[in-house]
């Protein structure tokens, strides 16, 4: 829960105290002053009167997370109570560059990625502050209808709509495609029936970039674009929008409830779609308690171990499918989909869209591989 107080006076319409300051990840921020509001003293870091006013009049101010933070609990303690095992470090350099106590050992791949992402985002924000990124997002190309594209493709083809992914590498598989041209791949996907395109933007672990996202957006490709990023800060959402993203990934295994609420609000203010990814029942239940959720991704790959199990989709849909359908939420099947039988399996479980990367990107012709994945050519 970091960065969002800094946005309060810049964009009060989307403000929430869900994230406070980069120094608050592992400990409570230093007290700038105490201000009484709504019957309790507000513990603030580097705040202004306008921010305090926004706090007092924002429903999120009274959330359990903020009250716990005010009482002195750390961000990691608050997150752990929600079942989030990923610890936050907020160090100014990469963990491997430290020594002694400063040289941390991550528990798993996802925690390593998040720690590295904290450093990356901090460095990016220093070069391009939030105000600048927000202004850039206002001049980005118009947002395209991500949800509408998925719905239309599903109705048109009778099989799950395809979000085809562009990624060069992954931590578990290494380099997936040596001859990597994101524009050519995106054009091939679109020509062969992809409804939307997902673009990995993480550089350190997936060899992606925001430049790839921007280049594809400016190439003439008309499919709506999903920014596949490990989001820990609202800054990343504005930055993705400034580069032409129409949707962005939010990972429940990483983000506390209040962060997801706030980030959903930011997405709505920008006209973007949020794809919220879950891996287990506890994460799904947390997401289903949030307002404004339209798109949930069920990932069959454990982000901690990277082990695949496609039955995860069926299990979660059997437990919560009725609630999902009643709320009109679209479900995306993610990971472990390589054949028409795999696609049919998750469709029968209740999925109406799939996000597929590896089985397409490793093919000699990624576009033509789409027909092989579905067992037929998709109509555009």
Strand-pair category, 33-37 with 40-44: antiparallel
> Quick check: 357 and 332 in contact, CB under 8 A?
no
Q: What letter does residue 377 receive in the DSSP assignment?
A: P
Q: Which residues of the chain have pLDDT under 70?
A: 1-58, 90-103, 304
Task: Give pLDDT, residue 198.
Answer: 98
Task: Give pLDDT, residue 63.
Answer: 81
Task: Give pLDDT, residue 225.
Answer: 98
DSSP reduced 3-state for 290? coil
Q: Which of 209, 298, 318 is nearest to 252 (CA)?
A: 298
Task: Give pLDDT, residue 363.
Answer: 96
Alpha carbon distance 68, 261 (integer Å) = 17
Alpha carbon distance 333, 183 (integer Å) = 25
Could you list the beta-strand ranges (E) of 244-378: 247-251, 273-278, 295-299, 330-334, 353-356
Task: Give pLDDT, residue 43.
Answer: 43
Alpha carbon distance 360, 37 (integer Å) = 54
- pLDDT tens profile 83-123: 999 998 765 555 555 544 556 788 888 999 999 999 999 99
Alpha carbon distance 247, 361 (integer Å) = 21
Active site positions, annotated:
165, 167, 228, 277, 299, 334-335
- What is the pTM for the complete model shown? 0.87
Architecture of domain 146-374: Alpha-Beta Barrel (3.20)
- Sequence spans of domains, the chain: 4-81, 146-374
- pLDDT tens profile 347-358: 999 999 999 999
Residue 239's contacts (CB-CB under 8 Å, 6 or more residues apart) are 124, 128, 133, 136, 137, 210
Alpha carbon distance 42, 67 (integer Å) = 9
Task: Give pLDDT, residue 117.
Answer: 96
Strand-pair category, 225-228 with 174-175: unpaired
Residue 184's contacts (CB-CB under 8 Å, 6 or more residues apart) are none
Could you list the beta-strand ranges (E) of 94-134: none
Q: What letter does residue 301 receive in the DSSP assignment?
A: B
Task: Give pLDDT, residue 20.
Answer: 35
């Amino acid at each position: 829960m970091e960065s969002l107080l800094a946005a309060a006076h810049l964009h009060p319409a989307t403000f929430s105290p869900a994230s406070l300051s980069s120094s608050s990840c592992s400990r409570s921020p230093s007290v700038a002053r105490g201000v009484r509001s709504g019957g309790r003293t507000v513990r603030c870091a580097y705040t202004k009167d306008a921010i305090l006013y926004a706090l007092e009049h924002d429903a999120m101010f009274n959330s359990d997370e903020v009250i716990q933070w005010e009482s002195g609990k750390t961000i990691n303690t608050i997150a752990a109570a929600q079942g989030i095992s990923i610890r936050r470090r907020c160090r100014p350099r990469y963990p491997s560059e430290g020594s002694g106590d400063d040289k941390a050992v991550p528990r798993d791949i996802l925690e390593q990625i998040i720690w590295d992402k904290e450093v990356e985002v901090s460095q990016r924000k220093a070069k391009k502050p939030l105000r600048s990124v927000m202004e850039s997002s206002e001049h980005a190309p118009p947002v395209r209808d991500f949800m509408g594209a998925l719905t239309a493709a599903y109705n048109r083809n009778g099989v799950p709509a395809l979000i085809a992914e562009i990624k060069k590498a992954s931590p578990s598989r290494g380099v997936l495609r040596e001859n990597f041209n994101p524009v050519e791949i995106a054009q091939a996907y679109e020509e062969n029936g992809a409804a939307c395109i997902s673009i990995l933007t993480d550089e350190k672990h997936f060899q992606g970039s925001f430049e790839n996202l921007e280049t594809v957006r400016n190439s003439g490709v008309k499919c709506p674009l999903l920014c596949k990023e490990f989001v820990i800060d609202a800054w990343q959402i504005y930055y993705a929008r400034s580069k032409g993203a129409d949707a962005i990934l939010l990972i429940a295994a990483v983000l506390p409830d209040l962060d997801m609420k706030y980030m959903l609000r930011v997405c709505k203010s920008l006209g973007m779609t949020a794809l919220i990814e879950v891996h287990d029942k506890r994460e799904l239940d947390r997401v289903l308690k949030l307002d404004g959720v339209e798109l949930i991704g069920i990932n069959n790959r454990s982000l901690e171990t990277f082990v695949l199990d496609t039955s995860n989709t069926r299990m979660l849909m059997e437990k919560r499918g009725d609630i999902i359908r009643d709320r009109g939420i679209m479900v995306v099947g993610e990971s472990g989909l390589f054949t028409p039988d795999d696609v049919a399996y998750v469709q029968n479980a209740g999925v109406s869209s799939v996000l597929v990367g590896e089985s397409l990107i490793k093919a000699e012709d990624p576009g033509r591989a789409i027909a092989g994945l579905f067992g037929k050519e998709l109509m555009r």
